[in-house]
Structure formats: structure tokens, C-alpha cells
């Protein structure tokens, strides 16, 4: 069995997890959530995004989040979908940028009103400039398995797109099962292909649990040599431009599985649960996390 000794968790809850919520989470609650997740051992995190508040109201407080939550110990990412977002990022102290593009043209058009090729044309000079300024650049590759509008996405198309970004000089590729349709066989095949073809770039797996296969896909990606995973505390998340997509795979579920298999993550599960408990009064939904539900049940039984 091919398993690493350690795995890195990239916590995406504060950005990807909260972005689709209809109820605005108070800025102070977001800041506390982020700080508690960091105290739980999270070393890499998507803090927020510089997007239009008109389209994603939850991210309207991005400047305040960045100001309060940057630190030297954590790699803090801010999602910047275009030049406007990059310009706003450059006015902060954050030096870790995340950009994104969909393999599917239709998804990309729905998301940012550009084809995939148009996005690449726009992003290439942006990424090269960021690298010249010594930024760490993370690229999120959406609809890497299936698209809600076009159906199955071919491995060759994903690989070709990833190679374009490798040529631009990005540091990391976060490859996403945006609508949670991938199965473990497909995950193993895609990530085996990417790891073999792109040995000098960080490959991160990003799974949604729409059909209950996220943990199985994490295991398949491990077998393919992946040791970096995007996860969201509580299983929060979902893309506003991907109909039917439910939450990201829960941080605590992934960490529990990995630790049970002897793979170190450095994450304190009890502290993650506390962070979720403190955030819950500000949400209008429950968590999609088996570990959290069992932790609550255990707590109630001992009251």
C-alpha cells in the first residue's frame, strides 16, 4: 500500500466554505474561526477572496480579514480571480495568491464570463508578474472530472491545462472535483497522470462530498502519490456557479482517516471541533461532518 508518512491539509473553510452562505457571518466570528483553526495546527489556509461583493457578499470584509489574520507561521492564501483582485492583494502584506480557471469552457463562462482560453490569456502576465515579485501562486483547476453543464471532462484536457500553468511558473495546482462526481478509480487515474507528468510542482487534491465519495477519493489520491489535500472544517462549502455541488470534504473527517492510517497531519481534532462549535451560532445550516456529529454525540452523552 502506497501511503506517505505525512500529509498537508490546506484549510479552505474560511473562503470556499463560507462563500456560498446566504446569511452573512460577522467579521469578528470569521476572524476567531480562522485563528482557532490555526491554533489547531493548520499551516496553510485560504483566508478570503477579493471578489465583487455584488456576486459574493460573504467576502465583502476581505480587507479586514487579511489585516487581522496574516501571520508568519501560516501560508495564507487570498483568492484573486482577475487583475482587479490582484491589485487589491498587492495593497496588502499577503504574498500568497490563488487564481482559478475551469477546464470546462461553459463553467468558466458561467463563473467569470470568459472562456478557458480567455482566462489563460489574462492570467499568464498576471502570474508571471506575481512570480517576479516573489509571490507563491496557487492555481485552482475547477471541473477537473465533471462539469455540471458539459458532463465528463477528459484527462488529456486537464493535463494540457495544468501544463500551461506549469509553463507560467505557478507553485501549486489544486485539482478539483467541483461537483463531487468523481469516483476513486477516476481519481487514481487523473492524479497518477498528473504526478507523473508534473513532478516538479505541488499537486493538491480538492474533493467535494456531494455523492459521499470524497474520503474514498482522498484514499485513491494518496495511492497515486498525492500528499496535499484541500479540506473545509465542518464540510462547509459549495460553488455558487456549480448547481448541485455540496460541501467540501470535512477537515476533521480527512484528518481522522489519515491519522488512523498512521499519516501525520499535525492537526488537533479537538481544537477543530471547538472552532466549529464557536462558529455554529452564526450559521444557518448544520455541518456535513461525521466526526463533528460523533464528537457532539459523545459530549452530550457525558453531560
Q: Which residues are catalytic?
A: 239
DSSP states of the chain: ----SB-EEEE-IIIIITTT-SSPPPHHHHHHHHHHHHHTT--EEEEEE---TTT-GGGTTHHHHHHHH--SSSEEEEE--SHHHHHHHHTSS--EEEEEEESSHHHHHHHHSS-HHHHHHHHHHHHHHHHHTT-EEEEEEESSSEETTTEE--HHHHHHHHHHHHHHT-SEEEEEETTS---HHHHHHHHHHHHHH-TTSEEEEEEB-TTS-HHHHHHHHHHTT--EEEEBGGG----TTSTT--PBPBHHHHHHHHHHTT-B----HHHHHHHHHHHGGG-SS----HHHHHHHHHHHHT-
Q: Classify 150 as helix, strand or coil.
A: coil
Return d(Cα 240, Cα 32) in angstroms, integer. 25
Return d(Cα 86, Cα 78) in angstroms, integer. 9
**Using N-to-C axis directions, what is the helix angle for 184-197 and 214-223, rounded to 10°?**
40
Burial classification of residue 254, based on how many CB atoms lie within 10 Å of its CB (0-12 exposed, 13-18 middle, 19 or more buried): buried
Distances (CA, A) of 297 to 249, 292, 302: 20, 9, 9
Amino acid at each position: 500500500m502506497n501511503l506517505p508518512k505525512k500529509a498537508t491539509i490546506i484549510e479552505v473553510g474560511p473562503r470556499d466554505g463560507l462563500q456560498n452562505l446566504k446569511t452573512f457571518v460577522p467579521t469578528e466570528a470569521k476572524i476567531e474561526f480562522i485563528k482557532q483553526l490555526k491554533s489547531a495546527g493548520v499551516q496553510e489556509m485560504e483566508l478570503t477572496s477579493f471578489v465583487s461583493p455584488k456576486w459574493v457578499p460573504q467576502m465583502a470584509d476581505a480587507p479586514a480579514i487579511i489585516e487581522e489574520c496574516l501571520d508568519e507561521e501560516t501560508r495564507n492564501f487570498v483568492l484573486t480571480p482577475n487583475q482587479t483582485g490582484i491589485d487589491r492583494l498587492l495593497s496588502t502584506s499577503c504574498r500568497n495568491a490563488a487564481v482559478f480557471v475551469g477546464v470546462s469552457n461553459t463553467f468558466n463562462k458561467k463563473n467569470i464570463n470568459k472562456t478557458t482560453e480567455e482566462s489563460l490569456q489574462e492570467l499568464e502576465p498576471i502570474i508571471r508578474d506575481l512570480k517576479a515579485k516573489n509571490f507563491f501562486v496557487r492555481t485552482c483547476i475547477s471541473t477537473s472530472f465533471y462539469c455540471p453543464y458539459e458532463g465528463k471532462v477528459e484527462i488529456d484536457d486537464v493535463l494540457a491545462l495544468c501544463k500551461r500553468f506549469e509553463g507560467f511558473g505557478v507553485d501549486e495546482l489544486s485539482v478539483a472535483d467541483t461537483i463531487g462526481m468523481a469516483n476513486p478509480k477516476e481519481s487514481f487515474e487523473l492524479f497518477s497522470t498528473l504526478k507523473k507528468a508534473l513532478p516538479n510542482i505541488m499537486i493538491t487534491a480538492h474533493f467535494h462530498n456531494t455523492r459521499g465519495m470524497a474520503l474514498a477519493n482522498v484514499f485513491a489520491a494518496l495511492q497515486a502519490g498525492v500528499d496535499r489535500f484541500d479540506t473545509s472544517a465542518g464540510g462547509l462549502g459549495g460553488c455558487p456557479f456549480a448547481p448541485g455541488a455540496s460541501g467540501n470534504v470535512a477537515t476533521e473527517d480527512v484528518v481522522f482517516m489519515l491519522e488512523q492510517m498512521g499519516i501525520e497531519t499535525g492537526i488537533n481534532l479537538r481544537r477543530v471541533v471547538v472552532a466549529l462549535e464557536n462558529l455554529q451560532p452564526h450559521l444557518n445550516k448544520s455541518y456535513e461532518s461525521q466526526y463533528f456529529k460523533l464528537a457532539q454525540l459523545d459530549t452530550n452523552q457525558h453531560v
